[in-house]
A and B are shown apart, each in its own frame.
Chain A
Amino acid sequence: MNHPIQANSSELQLGSAADKLLRYGAAVGGGGLVVALIGAAIHTDGWRRLQFAYLTTFCYFVSLVLGCLFLVALYHLTRTGWGVVVRRLAETVSVLMVPLAVTALPIVLSVIAGSGQLFPWASAEAQATDHLIQHKAPYLNATFFTIRALVYLGVWVALARFFWSRSVQQDATDDVQLTLRMQAVSAPTMFAFGITLTFASFDWLMSLSPHWFSTIFGVYYFAGCVVGALALLIVMTRALQASGRLTHTVNVEHYHDLGKLLFGFTFFWAYIAFSQFLLIWYANIPEETIWYLKRMENGWQWVSLLLLFGNFLVPFLGLMSRHVKRTPKLLAGWAAWLLVMHWVDLYWVAMPEVLPSPSIGLTELGCLAAFGGLLVAAWSKVAAKHALIPVHDPRLPESLAFHVPY
C-alpha cells in the first residue's frame, strides 16, 4: 500500500481542537441544562413541557447517530469505495450512542413513575378508563417499554462499537480480514437496525398519541435519520476542512456525491411524508385524521407548511444545482439548514401533544444546547483518539483518487 497517508499528520488528527471542543461543549451543555431547568420553572406546565422537549431532543440526536450507523453499515454492505474518506466521521458519531443510551434514563423513569405526563398511556387513570389503551396494554406498559428501550439501545451500542472498534483496529494492523468481517456483519446489521429503529419510533414518538397509528411511521423516522446523518457529515467535513484538516483527502467529488445523496434522501423523506399524509387525508377516517388535525390548526399549520417548504421544496430546488453541490460552502449551508429542519420535523411530531400552539421556549433551546454541547464534548474525546479517516482501509486509495469521469 503506497499511498502518501500519514496517520499522525496534523491534517488527519483532531489534535489541539479536541480540548477546545471538550471545554466549549461541556460549558454549552452544562449551561443548556440550567436553561432548560429555568424554562421548566417559568413556562406554563413547564415540567411537562420539559419532558417533551427532552424527548424531542433525545429523538433528534438518536436519529443523527442512528443515521450515521446506517451509513457505516451501508458502506460495508455495498462495498463502497468513493466515500471511505468520510466513513470515519460517521463511525465516530455512531459510537456516541454510548452516552446517548444513558440519557434515555429520564424518559424511562417518566414512564415507570406512571404520571402519564409524557406518554398518556403510562398513567394509571388512562389504563383504567381508556378502552383503546387497555387494548394496547400488552405492548404499551412500563415494564415492556423499559425492556424494549434496553434492547434497542443495547443493539445500537453493540453494532456501533463493532464497526468502530474494527475500523480503528485496522488503522493499527492493516488487516484486510477486518473489512471482510465487517462486510459479512453488515447485512444482518440492516435487519437488526430496521426492526429496532421502527419499534423505537413507535414507542418514543408514535405512542405519544396513543390512539393514533400509522404503518409507515418507522420508515418516516428512518428517512429523517438518513437526511440528518448526511447533512451532519457534510457540515462536519466542511468544518474540519475549514480548520485545515482533511484538505488533502476530501475533494469536491466527495462533496458532490454526498450532496446527491442528501438531495435524494430529502426527496425520499418528502415521499414518505406525503404517502402518509395523502392516504390519511384521502380516506378521511377520524381515528387517523385526528393526528393531522392537531397539526393543522392553532398555529401548527404554519409549522406544517414550514416543513413542506423548508424540509422539502426549497432545499429540493437548492440542492438540484450542480454548482451548489460542488461548492462546499454552499452545500454545507444547505446541510446546516436541513439539520435545523430535521429538528423542526421531530418538534412537529412530538410537541403538538403538549403545546396547544407552537412556541419555542427555554425548555426546547436548553435541551438542544444541553444534548448538543455534551455530545460535542463526547465526540471530541472519541475523535481525538484516532485518525480522522480510516488510514488503512483497503479501499482508501480508491476513495483518495476518486473522480468522476462524466
Chain B
Amino acid sequence: MATATTELDLNDPRRRPPLVTGEQDLHSITETVSKIAERPKPPRAWYVAFAIASSLTLMFFSLIGYLVYEGTGIWGNNSPVFWAWPIVNFVFWVGIGHAGTLISAILFLFRQNWRTSINRFAEAMTIFAVICAAIFPGIHVGRVWFAYWLFPLPSTDLAMWPNFRSPLLWDVFAVSTYGTVSLLFWYMGMIPDLATFRDRATGKIRKMLYGIFSLGWTGSARHWSRYEIAYGLLAALAAPLVLSVHTIVSFDFAVSQLPGWHTTIFPPYFVAGAVFSGFAMVVTLMVPAREFFGLKDLVTMRHLENMNKIILATGSMVGYAYAMEFFIAWYSGNGYEQFAFVNRAFGPYAWAYWTMVSCNLLAPQLFWFRKVRTTPWMMVVICIFVNIGMWFERFVICITSLSRDFLPSSWGYYSPTKIDVLMLLGSFGLFFTLFLLFCRYLPIVAMSEVKAYLPDAQPHGDDHH
C-alpha cells in the first residue's frame, strides 16, 4: 500500500477509512486467516519460540512441584514482607487480561468496529493471562491441596466458612467469574470461524475436532440471529467485569490501613493500569504476529495507532493517580502517608520506583508523536517498557509499603530468591506456550466479524459505520 494515500484517507473527516486495506473480499480474508492454521508446518521462528516457551513452562511446573514439596520458604517472602512476588505476579497477569475484555465488550458496545481485527487475539490473551494469574494465589496459600477452601463450600471437617468480608474471597469470585465469562465469550465468538476451519479441513482428525468444537454451526440465518443476541448479552455482562475484577484486586490492598495501600483512588486507578498494561501486551505480540503471519492488511497501521492512543490515554490516567496520591499524601497532613511516598521515591526501593515512573509515565508520552505511534519497532519498545513499568508498579505498591510500616523496629528489606525469578519467568513461558498453540491451531483473527465490515457488506455504503 502506498502510505501517502492511506494517510490522506485516514485523516479526511468526510469519509470513514476502510477497516482493512488491500483489495479484500470475503474469500481473501478466509484465505489469509485460515492458511495460518492450515499450512503443514509453521515458520521456523514458531518452533524456536515454542521450544523456549514450553521449556520454561516445564520449569514452571517443576518449580511448583518443588514448592508443594518444600513449602513457601523457597520464596523470598518473609517478615515483614509476606506478600511479595507471587502477589505482584498475580496482579500483573490479571491486569494483562483486561485489554481483551475491554476490546471485546466495551469497544463492542461503543461500536468501535476496528476492534474486529484484534479482538480474537486479545481475548485469547485474556484467557491465558487469567490462567497465569490464577496459579499464583493458588500456590501462595501454602498447602495447595487445601486451595479449595477458598471457595465457600459447606465444610465438613473445619466447621467454618471463609471470611465473606475479606476482599481476598471476593477475588476468588471475581477472577473465576471473569475467567468463565471471558472463556465463553472467546469460544462463542469463535464458533463461526471454527466451522470455516471444519469445512476447509482436509485431514480426518482435523475435521472431527473442528467439527466437535463448532457445535454443528451451519451459518443459517437462525444461527446468526441467535449468535448476535448471545454476543450482545455476553458483551453487556462482560463490560462491568472490566471494572470489577481489578477493582476488587485493588480492594485487596486499599481496604487495609497501611500507608500507600489505603487510598480511595485505587479502584479506578487499578482498572486504568490494567487496561494500560493489557494493551501494551497486545501491541507487543501483535506487531510480530502480523509480520510473521501476513496479516498486515487485516491488522493495519491504523489499528496499531488506535491501540497506542489508548495506551497513551490509560497511561496518563495512571499518571494522574500517581499525582493524586502524592498530592493528597502531603495535603492530608498524615505523617505516615507522607513517609510512605517519600520512602518510595527516595528510600531503599527508589530504583524500583524510578523504573516504574520512567517506564509508565514517561515512555508512553512518546505516543504523542505520530511517528512513534506508527513505527512498529518503536511502539514495541515502548510497550515492553510499559509492561516492565506495570510489573514494577505492583512491586512498588506491594513491597515498599510492607517493608516499612508504622514501626521502624519492624522494618526490613525484601529480596527475591532465585526461585521467585524463575517462577515469574516460568509464568511467561506458560503464557507464550498457550499463545503459540493458539496461533498454530485456531483462527487468530475473527474472520466473520471482519467480513461484516467490508465495504461490500454495508448495504448503504459509506454513511454507515
**A275 and B267: CB pair below 8 A?**
yes
Any B CB within 8 A of the CB of A330: no
**B11 and A279: CB pair below 8 A?**
no
Interface residues on A, range: 35 or more
Any B CB within 8 A of the CB of A180: yes
Bound CA–CA A398/B460 (angstroms): 11
Any A CB within 8 A of the CB of B296: no
**A394 and B264: CB pair below 8 A?**
no
Bound CA–CA A326/B313 (angstroms): 32
Q: Mask for A265-291, Cβ within 8 A of B = 1, else 0?
A: 001000110011011101101010000
Bound CA–CA A183/B321 (angstroms): 25
**A275 and B256: CB pair below 8 A?**
no
Any B CB within 8 A of the CB of A132: yes
Give residues of chain B (256-300) contacting chain A, Cβ–Cβ below 8 Å: 256-257, 262-268
Chain A min CB distance to B365 (Å) = 11
A394 — which chain B residues lie within 8 A by C-beta?
A: 12-14
**A215 and B257: CB pair below 8 A?**
no
**B264 and A276: CB pair below 8 A?**
yes
Any B CB within 8 A of the CB of A216: yes
Which single member of A211, A283, A397 contacts B262 (CB below 8 Å)? A283
**A401 and B464: CB pair below 8 A?**
yes
**B333 and A179: CB pair below 8 A?**
no
**B257 and A275: CB pair below 8 A?**
no
- Contacts A216-B265, A271-B267, A275-B264 given: A179-B331 contact, CB under 8 Å? no
**A180 and B262: CB pair below 8 A?**
no
**B13 and A180: CB pair below 8 A?**
yes
- Contacts A271-B267, A275-B247 given: A213-B331 contact, CB under 8 Å? yes
Q: How many residues of B contact A (CB 8 A)?
A: 40
Give residues of chain A (68-119) contacting chain B, Cβ–Cβ below 8 Å: 79, 81-82
A139 — which chain B residues lie within 8 A by C-beta?
A: 331
Q: Mask for A207-221, Cβ within 8 A of B = 1, else 0?
A: 000010111111100
**B333 and A215: CB pair below 8 A?**
no
**A215 and B325: CB pair below 8 A?**
yes
**A401 and B328: CB pair below 8 A?**
no
- Contacts A139-B331, A395-B13 given: A194-B320 contact, CB under 8 Å? yes
Bound CA–CA A271/B246 (angstroms): 13
Chain A min CB distance to B171 (Å) = 15
**A279 and B266: CB pair below 8 A?**
yes
Bound CA–CA A142/B242 (angstroms): 42
Write the chain A residue with the least CB distance to B326: A215
Any B CB within 8 A of the CB of A20: no
**A215 and B328: CB pair below 8 A?**
yes
**B232 and A406: CB pair below 8 A?**
yes
Which single member of A179, A260, A283, A404 contacts B256 (CB below 8 Å)? A283
Give residues of chain B (222-265) contacting chain A, Cβ–Cβ below 8 Å: 228, 232, 240, 243, 247, 251, 254-257, 262-265
Bound CA–CA A401/B465 (angstroms): 11
**A219 and B265: CB pair below 8 A?**
yes
**A216 and B268: CB pair below 8 A?**
yes
**A279 and B255: CB pair below 8 A?**
yes
Which single member of B232, B264, B324, B333 contacts A279 (CB below 8 Å)? B264
**A280 and B264: CB pair below 8 A?**
yes
A218 — which chain B residues lie within 8 A by C-beta?
A: 324
Q: Mask for A12-45, Cβ within 8 A of B = 1, else 0?
A: 0000000000000000000000000000000000
Any A CB within 8 A of the CB of B334: yes
**A279 and B464: CB pair below 8 A?**
no
B256 — which chain A residues lie within 8 A by C-beta?
A: 283
Chain A min CB distance to B234 (Å) = 14
Q: Mask for B317-335, Cβ within 8 A of A = 1, else 0?
A: 0001100110010011110
**A285 and B257: CB pair below 8 A?**
yes
Write the chain B residue with the least CB distance to A131: B333
Bound CA–CA A394/B328 (angstroms): 44
Bound CA–CA A194/B325 (angstroms): 15
A176 — which chain B residues lie within 8 A by C-beta?
A: 12-14
**B331 and A272: CB pair below 8 A?**
no
Give residues of chain A (248-271) contacting chain B, Cβ–Cβ below 8 Å: 260, 267, 271
Which single member of A82, A187, A213, A282 contacts B328 (CB below 8 Å)? A213
Q: Mask for B387-410, Cβ within 8 A of A = 1, else 0?
A: 000000000000000000000000
A278 — which chain B residues lie within 8 A by C-beta?
A: 251, 255
Any B CB within 8 A of the CB of A405: yes
Q: Mask for B1-15, Cβ within 8 A of A = 1, else 0?
A: 000000000011110
Write the chain A residue with the least CB distance to B271: A271
Chain B min CB distance to A192 (Å) = 12
B332 — which chain A residues lie within 8 A by C-beta?
A: 213, 287
- Contacts A213-B328, A406-B232 given: A81-B465 contact, CB under 8 Å? yes
Bound CA–CA A260/B232 (angstroms): 14
Write the chain B residue with the least CB distance to A191: B316
**A279 and B254: CB pair below 8 A?**
yes
**A136 and B333: CB pair below 8 A?**
yes
Give residues of chain B (300-322) contacting chain A, Cβ–Cβ below 8 Å: 313, 316, 320-321
Any B CB within 8 A of the CB of A198: yes
Chain A min CB distance to B266 (Å) = 7
B13 — which chain A residues lie within 8 A by C-beta?
A: 79, 176, 179-180, 183, 394-395
Chain A min CB distance to B13 (Å) = 4
A179 — which chain B residues lie within 8 A by C-beta?
A: 13
**B228 and A275: CB pair below 8 A?**
no
Write the chain B residue with the least CB distance to A281: B255
Chain B min CB distance to A295 (Å) = 15
Bound CA–CA A195/B262 (angstroms): 22
B243 — which chain A residues lie within 8 A by C-beta?
A: 271
Chain B min CB distance to A176 (Å) = 6
Write the chain B residue with the least CB distance to A284: B257
Any A CB within 8 A of the CB of B16: yes
Bound CA–CA A191/B365 (angstroms): 12
Bound CA–CA A183/B12 (angstroms): 12
B465 — which chain A residues lie within 8 A by C-beta?
A: 81, 398
Q: 25 A-B pairs, CB-CB below 8 angstroms?
A: A81-B16, A191-B316, A194-B320, A195-B320, A215-B263, A215-B264, A215-B321, A215-B325, A215-B328, A217-B264, A219-B265, A267-B240, A271-B243, A272-B267, A275-B264, A276-B264, A278-B251, A283-B256, A283-B262, A287-B332, A395-B13, A398-B16, A398-B465, A401-B463, A404-B111
Chain B interface residues (CB < 8 Å from chain A) = 11-14, 16, 109, 111, 228, 232, 240, 243, 247, 251, 254-257, 262-268, 313, 316, 320-321, 324-325, 328, 331-334, 368, 460, 463-465
Closest 3 CB pairs of A and B: A215-B265, A216-B264, A275-B267
10 more A-B residue pairs beyond the given contacts A215-B328, A398-B16, with a C-beta to C-beta distance below 8 A:
A180-B13, A214-B264, A215-B264, A216-B267, A217-B264, A275-B264, A278-B251, A279-B267, A283-B262, A401-B464
